[in-house]
Structure 1
């Protein structure tokens, strides 16, 4: 089952009419179908007919909510990634060191294969296209790299290039875990976080120490 882009309660807000609730459920069904197709690596190839069949709604209902398949997939990606980004923000709320915030984000995201496998498949299905989505993980990672630069914690000169390298490393880890789970354990995730900190300019000994600190609790999805 694909990760739902929104909590179920969002579809039954107080004061909504029955028609509004039905429209919200149909829209959410389309978004969930899009998320599932992206997770399967079929997002670009899927037709609107396939999307509506996956959502179990009539073909004509699609255009009551979205003008195109591209708009649907963009909306689905933004909503899923923004929700996950907000969860990481909450998990890191008590951390002050930009290096520890960044490492914690990587270590939590690298554990998605165990904690949230559907979301991990969605991320690998979307691939590096995630860097172009204006909400969610990529803008937060870029923000945190720039905060680390401003604080003198990161010496890497180009934040955007660093973001691409980080994204590639995380995607690679998640893909290996999906296809060869026996090769990846939580130590491998922490080692990736350590390597990323060193790439960003954190001294090796300190990077190693940060990458094995106790992780904060991850809020429920």
Structure 2
């Protein structure tokens, strides 16, 4: 039986601590998205978060730990967003393709999270958390269902990450270009690379996408 105490809502102090931690993470995400690094002082981070300097070390031991938390939070929010949007899709190949298409579009729809994902030191599809294990699961399920053909999951993930991030970078340096067209062409090529016939690959990349709601208010 779950105790009554475990069901109690967080106390005021716990809520305040959570808000402070999320303020620091939000400030780090903002700085990292703009700069691609955290080569700023802790003082600058705490000022951006509107948090006292001495408070920082109550939550993080270093800027590196804060950066890992900021990237991790962004990746987890991104993965949860995709999981929610695509929860009713049964075909793993469609889930995989739609995840890529939605992520590529973030360059226009959610530029902050897009910059964090692009600058995340290869974490988008290589980290043990966030979207990476979901992408691996979808590729493996598509192989098991006879939808994809690939001999090495690690190479497949690396190719996927490289293609996706490169297409997002292209959208960034060509602001007049259509992110939808660039992303969908990229996904079409990835599906072909995984052995899918052209007609079926084209059908998948023209499927309507679910409504694009923000992954998280924090990003």
TM-score (norm 2): 0.86
Indicate if the aligned counterparts of 1:66 and 1:72 stay in contact, CA closer than 8 A: yes
* Match of residue 99, structure 1, among 90, 93, 100: 93
Q: Does 1:128 align with 2:144?
A: no
Corresponding residue for residue 77 of structure 2: 83
Corresponding residue for residue 178 of structure 2: 184
Indicate if the aligned counterparts of 1:176 and 1:184 stay in contact, CA closer than 8 A: no
Corresponding residue for residue 29 of structure 1: 23
Indicate if the aligned counterparts of 2:38 and 2:63 stay in contact, CA closer than 8 A: no
Corresponding residue for residue 205 of structure 1: 199
Residues in 1 aligned to 2:191 and 2:13: alpha-carbon distance in whole angstroms: 51
Q: How many pairs align?
A: 208
Corresponding residue for residue 153 of structure 2: 159
Q: Classify 1:74/1:161 alpha carbon distance in 2 versus 1 (closer, same or farther; 3 Å).
A: same
Q: Does 1:113 align with 2:97?
A: no
Once the two structures are TM-superposed, the CA of residue 132 in structure 1 deviates from its matched residue by: 4.2
Indicate if the aligned counterparts of 1:87 and 1:218 stay in contact, CA closer than 8 A: no
Residues in 1 aligned to 2:130 and 2:113: alpha-carbon distance in whole angstroms: 13
Gaps of 5+ in 1: 1-13
Indicate if the aligned counterparts of 2:28 and 2:38 stay in contact, CA closer than 8 A: no
Indicate if the aligned counterparts of 1:110 and 1:174 stay in contact, CA closer than 8 A: yes
RMSD: 1.9
Residues in 2 aligned to 1:209 and 1:16: alpha-carbon distance in whole angstroms: 48
Q: Classify 1:209/1:39 alpha carbon distance in 2 versus 1 (closer, same or farther; 3 Å).
A: same
TM-score (norm 1): 0.86
Aligned to 2:119, what secondary structure does the other structure show? helix
